[in-house]
Copies of this chain bind each other. A is one copy, B any other.
Amino acid sequence: MNQSNNVLVAQSGGPSMVINQSLAGVVLAARADVRAGEIYGARHGIRGILEGDIVDLRAIPEATLERVARTPSSALGSVRMKPTPEDCARIFGKLRSLGVRWFFYIGGNDSAETADIIGREAARAGEELVCFHVPKTIDNDLRENDHTPGFGSAARFVASAFIGDDLDNRALGGVKINIVMGRHAGFLTAASALARRAPGDGPHLIYLPERPFSGRRFADDVMRCMEKYGRCVVAVSEGIADERGTLVASKFSSERDAHGNLQLGGSGALGDALADLLKRETRGAVKRVRADTFGYLQRSFPGIASETDAREARAVGEEAVRAALSGKWASGSIAIRRAPGQAYAVSYEVVPLASVAKNTRSMPDAFIAPEGNDVTQAFIDYARPIVGELPPVETI
């Protein structure tokens, strides 16, 4: 006999500009459903469950929630934590005492893995817990999804930054390298290509984790670009790796998180190393070289979210509640599918947790130029509706 009918939601992994839209989606959809009792939020993901750091989300006025939805980063706080079976047992105890029947975890592939672990352990322990993952990742690397909430807004930041930075480089010349987030997948780095409006616009070169990176080829590419345009703007993914698959950034970092991922963000070392490499390989022929690492601004800059992204982030939260409360599934994740045809349209589908957990997807070959240093028109067509209209520019 289990009379639990309460909801608990939490956020996990790296924040995004629209992850609070998903939170608002879960909370408002649950509020609108008579089957839902209390609606709790756990602070800092499953850590908040373990530590009893719980917020009453029914008590928050709708207008406040709407302002939270438009605020970047994870309003409930986040965590990077992979639960052990013992953690799970303690989590179930806490959830039972809170009368929680429906558990929602908003995050990327590591968060999906956490939800999957909790879902499996719950089934094994005979807990009556429905466990749903709500997708979020600026990396756009969740399988099953055409694209993921958070990507469109981060891509909008990256494309906007490249528009400005290309104009800056046009004014003062030289080589400009910008390091973009993306551990295994190059989608976000590829989004820099949306900055191009006219022939000659940067970025002129784009390096992705999906193709092996060679310092020698990089220097040759840049030299050719300098000869052609007298300047060169380069987008480089933080996740680039050499022929053997070794992360170029691993030479400068050794810190790992709970899921075993190497720390890549929050350091300018890769950009600086590539700038040095360029000066060395070109024997001083390239003089003015600058490197910026966009860093955490890509995932939390206020006031720049893509409207499409914000709308879809809201929808996946609502869809997760709809699916979970329907009683048809013990667990699952919501995937975004794109409708075929010219006009942009999406639908949402319930997929098994295991299909999005842990493993990620990369850029399809059709999105990468044969030379391995650019994207294709197919990628541009794919990304543009997700990112939306970019700020207009005019040159003389």
The answer to whether B396 touches A75, judged by C-beta atoms less than 8 angstroms apart, is: yes
Q: Is A171 an interface residue (CB 8 A)?
A: yes
Task: Report the separation of the CA atoms of residues A257 and B143 in the bound assembly, to the nearest whole angstrom.
Answer: 48
How far is the CB of A195 from the nearest CB of chain B, in Å? Answer: 10
Indicate with 1 or 0, residue by residue over A197-213, a CB within 8 angstroms of chain B CB atoms: 00000000000000000
Residue of B nearest to A268 (CB): B268
Q: Is A152 an interface residue (CB 8 A)?
A: no
Residue of B nearest to A396 (CB): B75
User: Given contacts A266-B292, A268-B269, is CB(A78)–CB(B396) below 8 Å?
Assistant: no
Q: Is A76 an interface residue (CB 8 A)?
A: yes
Pick the contact of A167: B72, B160, B165, B392 (CB < 8 A).
Answer: B72
Pick the contact of A396: B76, B291, B296 (CB < 8 A).
Answer: B76
Q: Which residues on the B side are within 8 Å of A292 (C-beta)?
A: 266, 268, 293, 295-297
The answer to whether A171 touches B268, judged by C-beta atoms less than 8 angstroms apart, is: no
The answer to whether A291 touches B303, judged by C-beta atoms less than 8 angstroms apart, is: no
Task: Report the separation of the CA atoms of residues A310 and B26 in the bound assembly, to the nearest whole angstrom.
Answer: 41
Task: Report the separation of the CA atoms of residues A391 and B171 in the bound assembly, to the nearest whole angstrom.
Answer: 29
Residue of B nearest to A71 (CB): B393
Q: Is A302 an interface residue (CB 8 A)?
A: yes
New contact pairs (4) apart from A15-B171, A67-B393, CB-CB < 8 Å: A60-B396, A71-B392, A75-B396, A164-B300
Name the 4 nearest CB pairs between A and B, nearest first: A268-B268, A266-B290, A292-B295, A73-B167
